[in-house]
Structures are given as structure tokens and as C-alpha cells.
A and B are shown apart, each in its own frame.
Chain A
Amino acid sequence: MKPKSQRLTLLLIAIAAVIGAVLLAMSALRDQAAYFYTPGDLARQGTLPASAVRIGGMVQKGSIRRAADGVTIEFVVTDETPNQLRVRYRGIVPDLFKEGSGVVAEGRFAPGGLFVADEILAKHDENYRPPELVGAKGEHKSESLR
């Protein structure tokens, strides 16, 4: 293969690879990026998302219930609208997770509307706010242990 045409070939392959990468990324992001919802957002939307999402809001006072196995909890997440979400989480909860405080959880909706959380999320600096909750009802701090 002549040098010039080899260089051109390589160049074209490189461009094709980059374009391919961007397309792959875009299509993967469409499905895999997790959107963030508050109870009000979900009520406005009408249907529950099928993919993995993040939800956030305030943990309703008096709503934390421990299951008999000692490691599963259920609680209710609210915001300034009258809507609520029921969440179930199996694991060790982070320190600042308590009633009346903010929470961000990542997981999926089960049929019937129960949100099954894989992780309860947070940040580790008291001066930061998780980007999702900036601008949401009040500013709720959530704390971390993933």
C-alpha cells in the first residue's frame, strides 16, 4: 500500500471510530443515564419510568419501618406536592438518613409503585448539596455511604 493512501486510510478509520464512539455513547446514554425525579415530577409525568432512576425528596416523619429481618426498611418520600413515594431498601443506611431529612435513592420501580432502592446516596461534605436537590423543595442534605 502506498504511504499516502495508507495514511488516508488510517485517518478515515480514525474518524469512523470517533463517530462510531459518539453514536454508541449517545444511544447508551439514552437508556442508561439515570434521570432524577421528585414525587411531584412523577405525578406530573403520569407513568412510572421503567429503567433505573434516582428519586429524591424528604423522608416523611414517622414513615420509617423496619422489617423483621432487621436490615430491610421501608419509608415514604415526599416533597412540597401532595404526592408520595414508597421506598424499600435493604442494607445499612448512611448516618444522616433520618426522618425529616432529605434523601436521594437510586433503583427501580416495582409494579405497583413501590420503589426498590439499590443505593441510598449522599455526599460527604456538609457544605455541598447534591446537584439533584438544588432548587428542589427546600435544600435537603443527604449523606453518604454507598
Chain B
Amino acid sequence: MRRAILWVPLAVFLLLVGLVVWGLSRPDDTTIHSQMIGKPMPGFALQPAVASHPGLSLADLRSGQPHLVNVFASWCIPCRTEAAQLAQLKARGVPIVGIAVRDKSEDVAGFLGQYGDPFERIGSDPRSQVQFDLGSSGVPETFIVDGRGVIRLQHIGEVRPEEVASVYAAWEQAK
């Protein structure tokens, strides 16, 4: 009996590890559960964040064709890692516009210079006002907005290489 008891700590530990692995391996569902899907984008008009690009307003998104709206900042590290994926999407024909939150013009320009510039327009959102109105609470976040200004996808976190396909599909479906 005593022999058996000696194995109890190991057994309990393995059980805990098993539980942890099971709990962690369940698929992450933050990208699907957004409540903003189907809601129209709120009204906004943002000044240009950098001199080289025009600003962004709701009218630009109601032009009849769907857009990818990327909420980012120069000081946000994950934003850098998604630059390549955004470039891929742009190469496949997705029009991309940006909202730079809590940022300075020269920093945004520097960021674009270093990491690439897939944006047609970039609006400056210095107090995260529009970001909050969009229901976004962190950076980076990516939205697919259809031609009537209705949100079709809210992707939280950077767009990873394996997610490019699903983001592109969402844009295509929004047409």
C-alpha cells in the first residue's frame, strides 16, 4: 500500500499536466466572436497621419468596394511583424487603409519607411477615439469593411502568414 502511495504525487502531477495541455489546445476563438460583425462603421473623419497619404473618413469606406482597415501604431511591435502579410494582401488586390493611434507624424513616417507601406490612406487618431468607437482595444487590429461601410470581419492581433488566406477570403466575400 505504501509503495502505491509513493506514486501518487507523480500521478497527480501528470493529471494536472494533462488538464493544462487539454485546456490550452482548444482552438482560440477570439477572431470569430466579434460582436461588431454586421454593424456599420461609426461616423468619423480623420486628418492625415503623414503628409504623403490622405486622411481617412467614413465616406472613403462607403465608396462601393470593400476595404481592409488596419489599426496600428509605430510603437507597436506586433504591427511590424504583420507588414509582410499586409503587403501580400495588397499585392492580391486588397485596398488597405490605416488608422494610426496615439502616434506622431514623424514616427509613422519612420515606421512606413522601415516596414513597408501598404496603405492608400492613413488617418490619425491621437486619442484612440475612433479606435474605441470601432470596438477595438489594442493594436494591431484589422477590419474588413464592405462597400456600404458595414464591418464584416474583426481580426484581433497581427495578421500571421497562415491567416492571410482567411482575411483575403473575407475581403472577397465582402464584395
- A residues near B, CB below 8 A? 8, 11, 15, 80, 96, 100-102, 126-129, 133-142
Contacts and interface: CB of A to CB of B under 8 A. Distances in A.
A137 B132 CA distance: 12
B138 interface: yes
B2 A8 contact: yes
Query: Lowest 7 CB-CB distances: which A-B pairs, in order?
Result: A138-B135, A141-B137, A139-B137, A137-B35, A135-B33, A101-B132, A140-B137
A54 B29 CA distance: 23
Interface centre among A102, A129, A139 (most CB of B within 10 A): A139
A31 B5 CA distance: 32
Interface of B: 2, 5, 8, 29-30, 33-36, 73, 76-78, 102, 128-129, 132-139, 141, 154, 156
8 contacts: A100-B129, A127-B76, A127-B138, A128-B138, A129-B138, A138-B35, A138-B36, A141-B137
Interface centre among A102, A135, A138, A141 (most CB of B within 10 A): A138
B29 A138 contact: no
A136 B76 CA distance: 23
B2 A126 contact: no
A100 B35 CA distance: 16
Contacts of A139: 34, 135-138, 141, 154, 156
Contacts of B77: 127
